[in-house]
Amino acid sequence: MSNLTDMEIFARVVSAGSMSAAGREMNLSPAVVSKRIRRLEEKLGTRLLQRTTRQIAMTEAGQGFYERVVAIIASVEEAESFVSRGSARARGSLKVAVPTSFGRLHIAPHLGNFLTANPDLTVNLDLSDDFVDIVGDGYDLAIRIAELSDSSLVARKLSPVHRVLCASPSYIARYGMPETIEDLSEHVTLASTNQDPWRLAGPDGIETVRTRAPVKTNSNEVIRECLLAGVGIALRSTWDVGPELREGKLQMLLPHYRASRDVGLYAVYPSRQFLPAKVRVFIDFLAGLYGSEPYWDAGLEDWLRLPSRAKAG
């Protein structure tokens, strides 16, 4: 069997993106890291990494080997944790990818309580609205707001996500209230580039609405600010605009149309037989924090119970 430390170095090189960065993380010189990778390749009889002056890339064999190494290292960590501290004890570093706005609003404020309960754990929180490569980029898990399709990853639903059409009172005062889904074509409709078009469930099934606005952006936070400034109508999650809806700064529109109910908040992580304690306790913490009736929907329950009356099929 290949030496476990060599496999750990290989995994760290992949996740860090370079041998020098991996060396800094592991307190090893780049020369030592390079030597250990060569030794591992020689033992396996295949090249794992393609090296250039600026970056490294995995070969096809390297990709498959990396996925298995990550699972092996996770299993070893789980075994050590079970023996030395008990299976419920989390330790080490947890690398998590989280959507930018959601991480800022609903994860960062709660990290203090989580870290107090898990003093041997550190959290590397990476905020991004892109769908990261969990395995390839070395993440322990990712938080995603999406309709999840079949994949090799494991997903646990943490909470429902309700997305509603809304606008500011100033926008409605200037341009009027849309009465039908067709009326939206006469309004400014705001969406980031990765949320266009809208798929709305309504009385006649799924309706697809192409947005039209003088603002083009890949930032959901920019869309949110434009919405509050009265630029147009937007489709927003209640976790994002719940306070503004309760305070009257935004008003819900077309209550029988809403985004797909298949969209949810998920914790997604690589499929592995033994889930590391650090991943499990973080997922359990978030599931307990949000649940089937998340706190951000408080005060909006009557509207959210209103059926969309969408036809089946």
Q: What is the pLDDT of residues 81-128, one digit of tens each?
A: 555 444 457 788 899 999 999 999 999 999 999 999 999 899 999 998
Q: What element of type H or E holds 265? A: strand 264-270
What number is the average pLDDT over the span 147-154? Answer: 67
Q: What percent of the chain has pLDDT over 90?
A: 39
Distance from C-alpha of 137 to C-alpha of 288, rounded to nearest angstrom: 27
Instruction: Collect all residues with Cβ–Cβ distance below 8 Å to 189 and sequence separation of at least 6.
Output: 198, 209, 211, 212, 213, 232, 233, 234
pTM: 0.69
Mean pLDDT of 133-154: 78
Residue type at 218? Answer: N
What integer pLDDT is reported at residue 84 of this predicted model?
47
Query: For all residues of the chain together, what is the average pLDDT?
Result: 84
* pLDDT tens, residue by residue, 34-56: 888 889 889 889 999 887 656 68
Cβ-contact 187, 168 below 8 angstroms = no
Find the helix or strand (DSSP H, E) in which 187 lies.
none
pLDDT per position as a tens digit, 218-271: 888 899 999 999 999 999 999 999 999 999 999 999 988 888 777 899 999 886
